[in-house]
Amino acid sequence: MELFSDIEQAEIDRILTCSKAVKKKLSAGETVFRQGEKPQMIFILQEGELALVKDFASGKRNLLYTVKPGEVFGEAFLFSGQIRYWYDALAMKESSVLAIPWRFFYGFCENACGHHRMITRNLLDILAGRNFSMTKKLHLLSSTSLKEKLAIFFLENADREGCVKLNMNRENLADFLGVARPSLSRELMNMQKEGLIEVGKDEVHIRDREALEYFY
């Protein structure tokens, strides 16, 4: 788990006891928290998969990002001064979550535990990484066309062989890009016909990187 990086298991056990962390089981479709609720915890996904989503009164949904096992979420509210969540944390399938109260990160415990310093350092690393990811997504969403958004998304997520593993279905990818699913499917087929990409079931292969980089 990224929050416990470089910390021994015995120390992790002490952290969980010292912080009064609690575990929660979720079924698919359940929420860890909902927009409008008051933040009080930092969460770690132990098993399963979560999506952080923003729903609008119109029915439109924006997928901010997905959370994988071992990753932290809800950390943005710790020092931001925001008093309400503005998105939902939704379980995509049966999941297990560890919740750590904020007060553990605001000050050292009475025992002045050495591991407290390390977990705070790890949290700062996570916050910096998340900020960088959000900056990249802002760059993607500021693109003027769907083709440009897809080109940036594929280039950012391709491996050395030009293969992009899709860790979300078409509906979730459309929500992530802020577009309608039919528009996404139509543009993917257009890009394939143009020889830019080859679309598979769970992956996309880049066929003309130079042409895609024109949109970057």
Which one-letter amino acid corresponds to residue 117? R
Domains of the chain: 2-140 (2.60.120.10), 143-213 (1.10.10.10)
pLDDT of residue 86: 86
- pLDDT tens profile 99-130: 999 888 776 555 555 666 777 777 777 776 77
- For residue 90, give the nearest of 117, 54, 132, 131 by alpha carbon: 54
Range ranked top by mean pLDDT from 15-19, 126-130, 160-164, 170-174: 160-164
- Mean pLDDT, residues 133-140: 67
Cβ atoms 13, 21 nearer than 8 A: no
- Annotate 148-162 with three-state secondary structure: HHHHHHHHHHCCCCC
pLDDT of residue 75: 84
| SS3 of residue 110 by DSSP | coil
Q: What percent of the chain has pLDDT over 70?
A: 87
Confidence class for position 169, pLDDT limits 50, 70, 90: confident
Q: What angle do CA 190, 200, 164 make, to 5 degrees?
A: 90
- Confidence (pTM): 0.63
- For residue 16, give the nearest of 149, 119, 145, 96 by alpha carbon: 119
Confidence class for position 91, pLDDT limits 50, 70, 90: very high
Confidence class for position 150, pLDDT limits 50, 70, 90: very high
- For residue 168, give the nearest of 28, 49, 1, 43 by alpha carbon: 49
Lowest mean pLDDT among 75-79, 130-134, 189-193: 130-134
pLDDT at 134 over 80: no
Backbone angles phi, psi at 152, to 5 degrees: -65, -45
pLDDT at 80 over 70: no
- pLDDT tens profile 3-57: 888 888 888 888 888 889 999 999 999 999 998 899 889 999 999 999 999 887 7
Please enumerate in sequence order all residues whose Cβ is within 8 A of that of 112, keeping only pairs 6 or more positions apart, or say none. Answer: none
Confidence class for position 84, pLDDT limits 50, 70, 90: confident
pLDDT at 156 over 60: yes
The tally of CA atoms less than 13 A away on the side-chain side of residue 10 is: 2
pLDDT of residue 5: 82
